[in-house]
Amino acid sequence: MLSIDTEKCIQCGLCGLICPAGAIENNTINNEGCITCGECQRNCPESAIQASL
C-alpha cells in the first residue's frame, strides 16, 4: 500500500500524471486501483510517497 506524506508533498501533481493505472487524483492514492509499479514513488521530487506493508 502506498501513501502520500502531506508534510512533504508540494502538490505538484506529477504522481497523478505519471501513474499508469490512473490511481492518483488530487494527491490521493486509490490503493484499490494501484498496480504497485512504484513509478509515483520513484519520480516524486520530494520523496513524499511511501510504501507500507
DSSP for 1-53, please give it. -EEE-TTT-----HHHHH-TT--EETTEE-TTT-----HHHHH-TT--EEE--
Architecture of domain 2-51 in this structure: 2-Layer Sandwich (3.30)
Amino acid identity at 53: L
User: Digits of tens for pLDDT over the chain (53 positions)?
Assistant: 999 999 999 999 999 999 999 999 999 999 999 999 999 999 999 999 999 87
Residue 2 is predicted with a pLDDT of 95
Quote the cell numbers at residue 17: 500524471
